[in-house]
Amino acid sequence: MVTLLLMLLNALSTAAATVLFSLFLFGIPFMGVCALRRREPIPLPLAIVGVLWFAFVSVSIAFSLVHYEARHALPVFPAGCIGIVYAAFETSRLLRRPVAGSPPS
């Protein structure tokens, strides 16, 4: 029984990590493009996270061209963590925002 619970916990944590990392990988550029489309200045937190996103992706791609190991990504791992937290926070904030024209709840 304990083994089954550990397997379920492992599956849930892997699924959550996959969703959050995908949100970071695709969400940060999407937020930047949306800000540019609305012709708004990019907010400072998004600009900072955008630089961290670029560092994470460029280091990952550069080492993937040669031979990728987890230790190659360790210097930019904090950048990914910060970006994941920012992307999750902004997504939850956008999901809580009421839609224009809808009655307040």
SS3 per-residue string spanning the chain: CHHHHHHHHHHHHHHHHHHHHHHHHHHHHHHHHHHHHCCCCCCHHHHHHHHHHHHHHHHHHHHHHHCCCHHHHHHHHHHHHHHHHHHHHHHHHHHHCCCCCCCCC
Q: What is the pLDDT of residues 11-49, one digit of tens each?
A: 999 888 888 888 888 888 888 888 888 888 888 888 888
pLDDT band at 7 (very low <50, low <70, confident <90, very high): very high
Query: Does residue 3 belong to any structural domain of this protein?
Result: no
Query: Does residue 4 belong to any structural domain of this protein?
Result: no
Domain that holds residue 21: 16-95
CA 93 to chain centre: 14
Number of domains in the chain: 1
Mean of the per-residue pLDDT values of the chain:
81
pLDDT at 101: 60
Query: Does residue 1 belong to any structural domain of this protein?
Result: no
Query: Does residue 9 belong to any structural domain of this protein?
Result: no
Query: Does residue 6 belong to any structural domain of this protein?
Result: no
Query: Does residue 59 belong to any structural domain of this protein?
Result: yes
